[in-house]
Amino acid sequence: MDLKFPTWQLPYLDAVSEIPLGNLRERVDVAERAILIRLEVLSRTSGRESERLAIREALDALHVIKKGKLDFPNWGQAPRPGKVDNRA
């Protein structure tokens, strides 16, 4: 697979893959950290709009996963009735 931005895309793709949910929260955390580190680097440069757009889309997708599968923002609280608890 040829990735344009492998520094953060590899952990992102790992987080959004369809492998079992057991460590999904950890995979999402790793992906978000990689993206935030890259955003810090990008904040000191100009241009790179295509990467900035790709990062925005990746963060949106991770947010959907967090809300839909990880009960975000209720991490650390007891699961709501009828909600599956995917905490690792």
Q: Which two tokens stand for residue 76?
A: 């650390």
- And the tokens for 33? 């950290």
Q: H or E segment at 11?
A: helix 6-16
Instruction: Please count the structural domains in the chain.
Output: 1
**Residue 88 has what pLDDT?**
46
18: CB partners within 8 A, 6+ apart: none
The 10s digit of each residue's pLDDT in 23-70 is 899 999 999 999 999 999 999 999 999 999 999 999 999 999 999 888
Domain span at residue 51 reads 6-69
Q: Give the per-residue pLDDT at 20.
A: 74
- Report yes or no on 78 lying in a domain: no
Q: Would residue 34 count as lying in a domain?
A: yes
Could you tell me the pTM of the whole model? Answer: 0.76
CA distances from 46 to 40, 41, 51, 68 (A): 12, 10, 11, 34
Task: Give the pLDDT confidence score for residue 82 in this predicted structure.
Answer: 57
- Domain annotation covers residue 77: no
Residue 32 corresponds to which amino acid?
E
